[in-house]
């Protein structure tokens, strides 16, 4: 399998001189196509910062980032927007659905920016919702859905443009155990279908459902291939 994500000596530094914060420092990481990995580490260790860089939402201060063989540093904002639209799906802890739109319209939104014609949009959005088990909730507004259902709508939105990569920053952080399991089952299924899944989590039980764990501490990658079974509550602290 070829590398989808290659981070080389990536650094992300906030502020300048004496107020400097090294959110990421000398990060080297390769994620191949079809990977299903979780990113773990203490709070403030740079997990979200790394996700933003990987998701082309943010540029590193230093280092080289190759995404799908492309040097992202060379691209302007609009080109990055196109990459995010076509190749990356995002799932957030807070769902980030638009309250005024129905589930169907929320899911169809990425296709609006992708220039997909309306008829095809509706059809693909309905399919995506069906894939996450919400075929009967198409017209509901987010406020009419449970947290788990909202997150499933968000997942449908993330996959509707058939991305290469699904990025999820603490996707189960706001969910209870049952709905967490449902969401993880969907991720596993999507990964089976060929989508690379990278997920930040604080829960060892969730991490154990992925193939490997990337461990962050103080802005650096400590382990790139931890066995999820090794994660215990003890390691979480360190």
Ligand X SMILES: Nc1ncnc2c1ncn2[C@@H]1O[C@H](COP(=O)(O)OP(=O)(O)OP(=O)(O)O)[C@@H](O)[C@H]1O
Among 6, 48, 52, 172, binds Mg ion (CB under 5 A): 48
96 binds other proteins (CB under 8 A): yes
Residues 86-122, buried b or exposed e (16+ Cβ, 10 A)?
ebbbbbbbebebeeeebbbbbbbbbbeeeebeeeebb
Q: Are 20 and 13 in contact (CB under 8 A)?
A: yes
Selection from other proteins, ligand X, Mg ion, none that 109 binds (CB < 5 to 8 A by kind) is other proteins
Shortest reach from residue 175's CB to Mg ion, in Å? 16
Strand segments (E) across the chain:
3-14, 21-32, 36-40, 62-67, 70-71, 88-92, 165-169, 196-200, 212-217, 220-226
DSSP H or E segment with residue 203: none
84 binds other proteins (CB under 8 A): yes
What is the per-residue binding string for ligand X in 2-41, x denoting contact by CB under 6 A?
------------x------x-x-----------------x
As beta bridge partners, residue 71 has: 66
- What is the spatial distance between Cα 195 and Cα 207, in angstroms, rounded to a whole number? 17
Of residues 26 through 65, those in contact with other proteins by CB under 8 A are 52, 55, 57-58
Q: Are 38 and 207 in contact (CB under 8 A)?
A: yes
Shortest reach from residue 108's CB to other proteins, in Å? 11
Size, binding site for ligand X by CB under 6 A: 11
Shortest reach from residue 86's CB to other proteins, in Å? 7
Interface contacts to Mg ion, rule CB under 5 A: 48
Interface contacts to ligand X, rule CB under 6 A: 14, 21, 23, 41, 43-49
Interface contacts to other proteins, rule CB under 8 A: 52, 55, 57-58, 77-78, 81-82, 84-86, 90, 92, 94, 96, 98-101, 109-110, 112-115, 157, 161
């Amino acid at each position: 399998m070829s590398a989808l994500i290659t981070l080389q000596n990536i650094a992300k530094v906030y502020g300048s001189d004496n107020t400097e914060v090294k959110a990421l420092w000398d990060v080297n990481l390769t994620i191949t196509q079809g990977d299903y990995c979780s990113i773990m580490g203490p709070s403030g260790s740079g997990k979200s910062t790394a996700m933003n860089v990987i998701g082309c939402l943010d540029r590193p201060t230093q280092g080289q980032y190759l995404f799908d063989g492309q040097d992202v540093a060379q691209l302007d904002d609009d080109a990055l927007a196109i990459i995010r639209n076509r190749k990356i799906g995002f799932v957030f802890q807070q769902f980030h659905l638009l309250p005024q739109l129905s589930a169907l319209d929320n899911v169809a939104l990425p296709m609006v920016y992708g220039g997909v014609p309306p008829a095809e949009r509706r059809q693909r959005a309905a399919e995506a919702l069906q894939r996450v088990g919400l075929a009967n909730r198409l017209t509901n507004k987010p406020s009419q859905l449970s947290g788990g259902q909202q997150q499933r709508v968000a997942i449908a939105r993330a996959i509707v443009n058939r991305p290469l990569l699904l990025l999820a920053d603490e996707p189960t952080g706001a969910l209870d155990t049952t709905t967490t399991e449902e969401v993880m089952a969907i991720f596993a299924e999507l990964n089976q279908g060929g989508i690379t899944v990278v997920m930040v989590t604080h829960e060892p039980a969730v991490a154990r459902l992925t193939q490997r764990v990337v461990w962050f501490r103080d802005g650096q990658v400590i382990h790139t291939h931890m066995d999820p079974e090794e994660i215990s509550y003890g390691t979480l602290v360190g």
